[in-house]
Amino acid sequence: MSFNSLCMNNLWRSAIRLSSNAAVTSTRLVAIRCKRFGDKRGELCQTRAHSNNTQHVSRKLVRNGKEKKLVVFIEGNIASGKTTCLEYFSKTSNIEVLTEPVSKWRNVRGHNPLGLMYQDPTRWGITLQTYVQLTMLDRHLSTMSAPVRMMERSIYSAKYIFVENLFRSGKMPEVDFAVLSEWFEWITQNIAIPVDLIVYLQSSPQTCHERLKERCREEEKIIPLEYLEAIHQLYEDWLIKKTSFNVPAPVLVIPADDDLQKMLHQYEENREKILAGSNV
């Protein structure tokens, strides 16, 4: 079999598994990389795939061309203010904001995997995290409708922070962790997940705990301070010390312990950097 047909075969198999919707499949198809053949050959595959459906423009091809788009992840502990930050920037034209699909995690066909996970993490951790991974991937691959996309969290933090925490704290069985890790590795090795900048809202676990109590999300009432401390430590190791996992983009740190007014001021002060995709 020639290289091109082998490559196209692999692309189609992957794409068909990802989506049963024909139009969406075409769009996503072009975002899938043939990593095993190296970048140059991957580009060739994408160009071929793209020519099958010209009304859809590949993110990767757009990113390489004149209309380069910018993708920013907003990261931080639970209740660090990610949604507030996104809502602030959503008022700017030319920025598209994707908040986290928490409502889906609280209601999938009448079930609440988020609530179940907090009640019994050992039993339901894998259920929630599998669904989080799917919904995050769906967000990453959705077609961009503005030159700048700001997105709450990412498939990376779901794995590097939450799955890792469940496993390290002994609440996720080794086999569940292994299966989730296999899925995660397959996804990140075979699918291009665009990101240009990570904004890390760096807050103390104590501040997050106070905010959690104030907002009173039913499922989160049982979250102890120690849980937020563990999440904080994993974030610090990943994005500040850079000692745990791959960091897929430069990191811009914004201190996030202040009250709302001061935080809005901080966001404004960092606007230019964020829109330039720069951490300096």
Options 78-86, 137-145, 175-183, 195-203: segment touching Mg ion (CB under 5 A): 78-86
* 76 interacts with ligand TTP by CB under 6 A: yes
* 84 interacts with Mg ion by CB under 5 A: no
Question: What DSSP assignment string belongs to 29-75?
Answer: HTTB--GGG-HHHHHHHHHHHHHT-TTS--HHHHHHSTT--EEEEEE
For Mg ion, which is the closer residue by CB, 43 or 210?
210
* 251 interacts with ligand TTP by CB under 6 A: no
Question: What DSSP assignment string belongs to the chain?
Answer: --HHHHHHHHHHHHHHHH-S-HHHHHHHHTTB--GGG-HHHHHHHHHHHHHT-TTS--HHHHHHSTT--EEEEEEESTTSSHHHHHHHHHTSTTEEEE---HHHHH-BTTB-HHHHHHH-HHHHHHHHHHHHHHHHHHHHHSPP-SSEEEEES-HHHIIIIIIHHHHHTT-S-HHHHHHHHHHHHHHHHHB----SEEEEEE--HHHHHHHHHHH--GGGGG--HHHHHHHHHHHIIIIIS--SS---S-EEEEE--S-HHHHHHHHHHTHHHHHHT---
Options 79-87, 168-176, 244-252, 267-275: segment touching ligand TTP (CB under 6 A): 79-87
Options 48-56, 80-88, 170-178, 193-201: segment touching Mg ion (CB under 5 A): 80-88
* 229 interacts with ligand TTP by CB under 6 A: no
For ligand TTP, which is the closer residue by CB, 24 or 108?
108
Quick check: 97 and 90 in contact, CB under 8 A? yes
For ligand TTP, which is the closer residue by CB, 131 or 275?
131
* 79 interacts with ligand TTP by CB under 6 A: yes
**Active-site residue, selected from the candidate residues 96, 152, 164, 226:** 152
Nearest distance from residue 269's CB to ligand TTP, in Å?
A: 19
Give 238's contacts (C-beta < 8 A, 6+ positions apart).
Answer: 157, 160, 161, 244, 245, 247
Nearest distance from residue 78's CB to Mg ion, in Å?
A: 8
Nearest distance from residue 82's CB to Mg ion, in Å?
A: 5
Give 54's contacts (C-beta < 8 A, 6+ positions apart).
Answer: none
Options 10-18, 49-57, 71-79, 234-242: segment touching ligand TTP (CB under 6 A): 71-79
Instruction: Please identify which residue in 162, 184, 227, 238 interacts with ligand TTP, judged by CB under 6 A.
Output: 162
* 158 interacts with ligand TTP by CB under 6 A: yes
* 83 interacts with Mg ion by CB under 5 A: yes
* 132 interacts with ligand TTP by CB under 6 A: yes
Show the binding pattern over residues 19-58: x = contacts ligand TTP (CB under 6 A), - = does not.
----------------------------------------
* 153 interacts with ligand TTP by CB under 6 A: yes
Catalytic residue status for 152: yes
Residues that bind Mg ion (CB under 5 A): 82-83
Which of the residues are catalytic?
A: 152
